[in-house]
Amino acid sequence: MTTLKTLWLGVSGLLLLVPAVVAKDIELADAKQAVAQLQQQKGLQLAYERLSQFGERTLLERYQADTDDHGWQLLAENGQAPSEQRLREYAQMKHDEWQSGQQPDDEEQGDQQSVKLSLSDLIQPQTLAYAGEQQWQGEPVAAFSFTPQLDKFSEHNDKLQGFLYLDADNSRQIKGLTVGLKEEFSPAMSVTLERFQLTIELMPLQQGQHTYFVPRRTEEQMAGSYLYFKDFNNHTVRTYRDYSVLEKPALSN
């Protein structure tokens, strides 16, 4: 009788486990579908405004995808209209960044990353794992852990931990993602990165019958030391608005 009872408990446990495993697989399928949607909009060409805050400094810019140049326009700096000299300096800086980004071995470097940063490249789908329901930005979400792929830390991605967040309701709409440190590391000689946190909030952009997901707000915090005795602590917040989808896509190289 003892053997039968043990067998019955084992079978009961298995039967109870199956729905949980199936539910986890369904959740994971939702996350992979969300990433696939990001991949489908990889070549999307946008125009938008971006307000950047670096401590007490602010920068308001306008971006429109351009096949022949950087596409950026400086609208205001620290709440003031820029002078003609400042506009020339800004245009030259952006042009230099754009030219650097055209080099085959240095693709998407510099400020060209902004919204063009490919979220689908940042998330490695094969590493996604369901992490349960959580609260994120004050809302219930379904969370999924992943190993991120950041170019500037390419040799140390195993030191990073990413989380993808989807709406907890049946829509499973993508809400955003975070990337943080699992442990401190040295990304360059004499540099120690002690803190890194990247937060990207996404929002839906409706264009005709298509829904795209674009950044609404990004925040990056980075702290550590260099040359063994100098500390750095950088905090950048960017908000995006006035999006439009350009009808004619930019030509690829």
Domain range annotation of the chain: 27-42+118-247, 44-117
Q: What is the pTM of this model?
A: 0.79
Q: In the beta sheet, which residues pair with residue 159?
A: none
126, two tokens: 């094969």
* Closest C-alpha among 241, 234, 196 to residue 217: 241
Gap between the Cα atoms of 130 and 43, Å rounded: 28
CA separation, residue 197 to residues 60, 75, 134, 147, 216 (Å): 23, 28, 18, 14, 17
Report the pLDDT value the prediction gives residue 142, as an integer from 0 to 100: 94
pLDDT digits (tens, 9 = 90+) for 110-169: 343 333 456 778 888 899 999 999 999 999 999 999 998 877 676 777 888 999 999 988
Distance CA 141, CA 176 (A): 10
- pLDDT per residue as tens, the chain (253 positions): 333 333 333 344 444 444 444 456 778 999 999 999 888 887 788 899 999 999 899 999 999 876 667 889 999 999 999 999 999 999 999 888 888 765 433 333 334 333 345 677 888 889 999 999 999 999 999 999 999 887 767 677 788 899 999 998 888 899 999 999 988 777 777 788 888 899 999 999 988 888 999 999 999 998 888 776 778 888 999 999 999 988 754 444 3
